[in-house]
């Protein structure tokens, strides 16, 4: 997060044209199925995105829609303004077949289930955990929703993942989402105006740019919670993926997954991904930190640098798809899908999203930073603007 710098774009890969349901907020949208750009460079069947009609709805008096982005090569992404969620992300594999690498659902009702696990969502006001949902700011104690045991997770019960964002589509490859979080919402001080811009480029990257302002001193830590499996739809595991993290340290946690405040070296531990290795290589090792997380569910401390820089590289040994994550943030949360179970049997196409069938790489400031003075600050003051960017960029290893 950068508070005093100009707004930055965040990036993920999948380019595209945009189509979506007709909406007064998205005047340039087109219905799914209308061809806007040439997709002949991608071979095989046309990509199958969820039906936009299954995403029409109303929540909090606001209209919900599904928006589709497609680039000149025919790669596609579908995003709903309910929670700003990435629903589908279609990229070519080593045979040039389009593959959906993001887990999600086929309709808006499944995203609104009580037990839903933040699939593809924008996370705010504060991504990750805050101990006991408490922090002190300018001498005042703030109490947040407690929605994760004794702690606050991802903004609380009704965080940004459950909000209907105002959507504007200025062109075929850009979606702008805006949400105004009122003073005291979820226990957070100040009225926070957040803007997130998804831009799908022809360089195989989907960019996400975060911006926020406040009228009172507050905290902010925005991220995206996409669940990935580069093996493709319905694949049962991510332990066969190769992962490399640009980090020599991580933040160990207690049994409630709150950082202890220490930074520990990854060398000689199962947390060492400084060189590419299989996610499953050491995930079941006898290790106190792995036990606390049920696997990997930790923040890695990225090597210091300026501007947008590489944080992670993941690749599938089955499809050849490679994903790079770039960010301006100081940390990245690697989550290995430890809490997914076979009860999650209503995925896209009827898929079951079971144990460790997906991973998340959430760019972020550190968990519990408001209570950890040694961690990078997440404080935002009036008159300043929060800017952050992250990138998920795709390629193929043949």
pLDDT band at 114 (very low <50, low <70, confident <90, very high): confident
Among 105, 154, 173, 225, the active-site one is 225
Domains 18-133+149-227+379-396 and 241-371 share a fold: yes
Annotated catalytic residue 105: no
Burial 252-289 (b: 16+ CB within 10 A, else e): bbeeebbbeeebeebeeebbbbeeeeebbebbeeeeeb
- Res 284: pLDDT: 98
Statement: residue 38 has pLDDT above 80: no
**Average pLDDT estimate for 349-358:** 96
More confident residue, 200 or 172: 200
- Res 20: pLDDT: 38
pLDDT (tens digit, 9 = 90+) per residue, 272-290? 999 999 999 999 999 999 9
Statement: residue 189 has pLDDT above 50: yes
Contact (Cβ atoms closer than 8 angstroms) between residue 356 and residue 295: yes
pLDDT (tens digit, 9 = 90+) per residue, 291-313? 999 999 999 999 999 899 999 99
**Average pLDDT estimate for 167-185:** 95
Other beta carbons within 10 angstroms of residue 53's beta carbon come to 11
pLDDT averaged over every residue in the chain: 89
* Pairing, β 264-265 against β 247-251: antiparallel
Among 75, 246, 324, 362, the active-site one is 362
**Average pLDDT estimate for 383-398:** 96
Q: Which residues contact 83 (CB under 8 A, 6 or more apart)?
A: 111, 120, 121, 122, 160, 161, 162, 163, 165
Residues linked to residue 223 through DSSP beta bridges, in sequence order = 123
Residue given tokens 């993920």 in the structure block: 12
- Res 363: pLDDT: 98
Annotated catalytic residue 204: no
Contact (Cβ atoms closer than 8 angstroms) between residue 173 and residue 201: yes
- Res 4: pLDDT: 42
Kindly list the domain boundaries of the chain, sorted by start residue. 18-133+149-227+379-396, 241-371
pLDDT (tens digit, 9 = 90+) per residue, 227-265? 999 999 889 999 999 999 999 999 999 999 999 999 999
- Res 178: pLDDT: 98
**DSSP string of 188-250?**
--S-EEEEEEEEE-TTSEEEEEEEEEESS-EE-B-EEE--B-TT-TT---STTEEEEESEEEE
DSSP state of 321: E
- Res 45: pLDDT: 41
Domain 18-133+149-227+379-396 CATH assignment equals 2.70.98.10: yes
**The two structure tokens encoding residue 36:** 């806007």
Q: Where are the alpha helices (DSSP H) in 198-337?
A: 288-293
Statement: residue 15 has pLDDT above 90: no
- Res 234: pLDDT: 87
Task: List the Cα angle 286/290/296 in 5-degree steps.
Answer: 140
- Res 113: pLDDT: 93
Q: From CA 333, how far away is CA 366, in angstroms rounded? A: 9
Domain 241-371 CATH assignment equals 1.25.40.340: no
- Res 94: pLDDT: 96
- Res 281: pLDDT: 98
- Res 360: pLDDT: 98
- Res 71: pLDDT: 86
Other beta carbons within 10 angstroms of residue 144's beta carbon come to 24
Statement: residue 175 has pLDDT above 80: yes
- Res 37: pLDDT: 31
């Amino acid at each position: 997060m950068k508070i005093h710098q100009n707004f930055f774009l965040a990036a993920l890969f999948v380019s595209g044209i945009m189509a979506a349901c007709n909406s007064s907020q998205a005047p340039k949208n087109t219905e799914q199925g209308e061809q806007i750009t040439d997709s002949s460079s991608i071979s095989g069947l046309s990509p199958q995105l969820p039906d936009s009609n299954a995403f029409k709805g109303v929540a909090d008096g606001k209209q919900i829609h599904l928006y589709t982005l497609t680039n000149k090569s025919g790669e596609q992404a579908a995003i709903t303004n309910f929670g700003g969620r990435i629903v589908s992300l279609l990229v070519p594999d080593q045979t040039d077949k389009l593959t959906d690498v993001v887990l999600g659902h086929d309709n808006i009702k499944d995203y609104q289930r009580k037990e839903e696990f933040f699939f593809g969502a924008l996370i705010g006001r504060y991504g990750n955990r805050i101990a006991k949902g408490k922090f002190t700011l300018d001498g005042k104690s703030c109490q947040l929703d407690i929605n994760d045991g004794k702690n606050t997770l991802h903004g609380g019960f009704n965080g940004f993942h459950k909000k209907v964002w105002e959507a504007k589509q200025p062109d075929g490859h850009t979606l702008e989402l805006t949400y105004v979080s009122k003073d005291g919402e979820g226990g957070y001080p100040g009225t926070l105006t957040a803007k997130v811009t998804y831009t799908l480029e022809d360089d195989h990257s989907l960019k996400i740019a975060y911006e926020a302002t406040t009228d009172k001193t507050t905290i902010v830590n925005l991220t995206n919670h996409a669940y990935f499996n580069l093996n493709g739809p319905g694949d049962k595991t991510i332990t066969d993926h190769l992962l490399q993290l640009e980090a020599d340290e991580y933040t160990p946690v207690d049994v409630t997954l709150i950082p202890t405040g220490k930074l520990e070296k990854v060398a000689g531990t199962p947390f060492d991904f400084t060189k590419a290795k299989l996610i499953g290589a050491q995930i079941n090792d006898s290790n106190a930190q792995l036990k606390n997380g049920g696997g990997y569910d930790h923040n890695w401390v990225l090597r210091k640098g300026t501007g947008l820089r590489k944080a992670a590289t993941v690749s599938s040994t089955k499809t050849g798809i490679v994903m790079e994550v770039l960010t301006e943030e100081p940390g990245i949360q690697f989550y290995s899908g430890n809490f997914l179970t076979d009860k999650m049997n209503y995925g896209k196409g009827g898929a079951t999203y079971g144990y460790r069938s997906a991973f998340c790489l959430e760019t972020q400031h550190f968990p519990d930073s408001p209570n950890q003075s040694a961690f990078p600050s997440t404080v935002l003051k009036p008159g300043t603007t929060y800017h952050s960017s992250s990138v998920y960029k795709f390629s193929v290893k043949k």
